[in-house]
Structure 1
Amino acid sequence: MQRLQISGVDLAVEIQGQGQPLIFVHGFPLDHTMWEAQIAEFSRDYHVLAPDLRGFGTSGTGSGIATMERFADDLAELADCLGLSARGIVLCGLSMGGYIAFQFLRKYAALLRGLVLCNTRATADADEVRENRYRLATKVRQEGPEVVVHQMLPKLVSDETRRERPECLDRLETMMRGASWEGIAAAALGMAERPDSSALLATIPCPALVIAGEFDALSPSSEMQAMANAIPGVRFEVIPGAGHMTPMEKPREFNAILRSFLQSLEPRST
């Protein structure tokens, strides 16, 4: 892990490999280790970056609400700091990482060579979901990360994963407990306030891949199919047997899909 000062926050970033830049953006309230199988696979052929977003993992926590735009700005500054901006970035975000990817697209589309959206949605929160995020932020500040473990952990994986790969749940719980209460609350408020990105879908200027889990309870595959339908030339894939955490639950299948997509991209000259 390397540590870099990005926008006044000490960010921890896993950086491995050489070649075209590939940035993995984790979900809420997790850290970069959710991408462990992808880092190991793709760092053989690509310049892989997997940051702990501010407030998560071993990164520092900023002040105020952690908006999706703030996270996107961090990623753009990170790319610039490492001299990657001119090389064309493939950005791969899951769940909250997808929300961040949309804000990156909104502000930094010229930096993108490819976009991978996993288990996420382009729409803003419905009123009920938004209110739940506000309540979660308040409770986490009062009681700590235990609240989010109980609320979210049962929803993250499929029954098949729960049965056959209990270690996946153990790893997710460890990540959640490792997040700071300030980071969890700040990101929950940031997600609640994120704008609707549906209008961006038709304007995505780079090749896009959308990956869903067959049994995802949080971002149903039917909703992700509808999102994908609005993206020109998109590749859409559903991973059988997976829930919300497709890269962890079905790493071999996920990696095969992602590798095929990456190989289809024209590398940007450096």
Structure 2
Amino acid sequence: MGVQTLVLLPGLMCDAGVWEPLYSHLPAGATPWVADYGMANSLSAMAARVLQQAPADRFALAGHSMGGRVAMELLRQAPQRVTQVALLDTGYLPCATGEAGSQEAAKRQALLEVARTQGVRAMAQTWVQGMVHPDRLQDAALMEAVVAMFARKSTEVFAAQIEALLARPDASDVLRALTVPTLLQCGAQDSWSPPAQHAEMQVLAPRAVLDVISQAGHMAPMERPHAVAASLARWLADMAA
């Protein structure tokens, strides 16, 4: 492959720290660029900001968690700029109505309240417990890397991003419209965005490839960077071919 810009979209309270473990395992021609959403408080505003700041007119696009949802909004706004898309550990449905939706909002607001009263780091130490493969909870280096990444973001950013997620649109139509090489990927033990959810996405986008990363939870790119990068390398090669 020639030189190819790879636009990388982090998830909720995440930054380049999610993606950096992959860099040394990516194909030589892939040039990563990680987006920052600033204080954007809607997924569509995040996508518009990425389109404004992306360093190339056309690019490969990968999004992790909330970043996957931003990727789908970007495809809604400017599909002609995306050569291929990878959606990692993510989802496509809007916030549920009724009791389920109220429960999600309450859980997110409770985390925000901990961040406001005890600090982002204290919130992150609780939140991270469900984000990695259970066997990795004793991996001090990994856990610190995830917690430190969350702690680099402010409570104000957390509030804006929660607002965006609670108002997330249904992206089923974006998945159905996909014509570029598409990768759906998640950790086998991702309890936030489980493999079954990605299988549903593949039903909507039947040409997509589904890769499940063994021995990994929601933070698969940080937990199993070699396996995640190998999957991305295969996807990047699809375009070259």
Same fold (TM over 0.5): yes
- Matching residue's letter, 2:4: Q
Q: How far did 1:142 drift?
A: 4.3
Q: How far did 1:111 drift?
A: 0.6
- Matching residue's letter, 1:211: Q
Question: What's the secondary structure of 2:78's corresponding residue?
Answer: helix
- Matching residue's letter, 2:68: G
Q: Which has the higher contact order (CA 8 A, sep 6+)?
A: 2
CA offsets per residue over residues 200-258 of structure 1, 9 Å max, x none? 21111311000011111101111111112210311001011100011111111111111
For 1:2-13, what aligned pairs fall within 5 Å after superposition?
none
Question: What's the secondary structure of 1:93's corresponding residue?
Answer: strand
TM (norm. structure 2) is 0.90
Q: How far did 1:139 drift?
A: 4.8
Q: How far did 1:145 drift?
A: 1.1
Aligned CA distance change for structure 1 residues 189 and 39 (closer, same or farther; 3 Å)? same
Q: How far did 1:166 drift?
A: 2.9
- The aligned residue for residue 217 of structure 1 is 191
- The aligned residue for residue 169 of structure 2 is 195
1:210–1:224: 8 Å Cα contact kept in structure 2? yes
Give, in whole Å, the separation in 1 of the partners of 2:27 and 2:137.
28
Matched, 1:23 2:10: no
- Matching residue's letter, 1:241: Q
Question: What's the secondary structure of 2:239's corresponding residue?
Answer: coil
Matched, 1:119 2:103: no
1:136–1:188: 8 Å Cα contact kept in structure 2? no
- Matching residue's letter, 1:244: H
For 1:1-270, what aligned pairs fall within 5 Å after superposition?
19-42=3-26, 44-54=28-38, 62=39, 66-79=41-54, 82=55, 84-85=56-57, 88-126=58-96, 127=101, 128-146=103-121, 148-163=123-138, 165-266=139-240
CA offsets per residue over residues 113-162 of structure 1, 9 Å max, x none? 00100000001122121343344445534443145314421011001222
Give, in whole Å, the separation in 2 of the partners of 1:227 and 1:214.
16
Question: What's the secondary structure of 2:60's corresponding residue?
Answer: strand
CA offsets per residue over residues 84-120 of structure 1, 9 Å max, x none? 11xx311111101111111111111111100100000
Aligned CA distance change for structure 1 residues 159 and 214 (closer, same or farther; 3 Å)? same
Q: Tell me how large the CA RMSD over aligned residues is.
A: 1.9
1:141–1:182: 8 Å Cα contact kept in structure 2? no
Give, in whole Å, the separation in 2 of the partners of 1:254 and 1:68.
25
Give, in whole Å, the separation in 2 of the partners of 1:184 and 1:28.
8
> What's the % identity of the aligned pairs?
24
**More moved, 42-51 vs 133-142:** 133-142
Give, in whole Å, the separation in 2 of the partners of 1:136 and 1:162.
20
Give structure 1 stretches of 5+ with no counterpart.
Answer: 1-17, 55-61
- Matching residue's letter, 1:175: M
Aligned CA distance change for structure 1 residues 169 and 161 (closer, same or farther; 3 Å)? same
1:213–1:220: 8 Å Cα contact kept in structure 2? yes
Q: How far did 1:46 drift?
A: 1.6
Question: What's the secondary structure of 1:265's corresponding residue?
Answer: helix
Question: What's the secondary structure of 1:125's corresponding residue?
Answer: coil
Q: How far did 1:183 drift?
A: 0.6
2:115–2:123: 8 Å Cα contact kept in structure 1? yes
Give, in whole Å, the separation in 1 of the partners of 2:114 and 2:134.
28
TM (norm. structure 1) is 0.81
Give, in whole Å, the separation in 1 of the partners of 2:124 and 2:32.
29
Question: What's the secondary structure of 2:83's corresponding residue?
Answer: strand
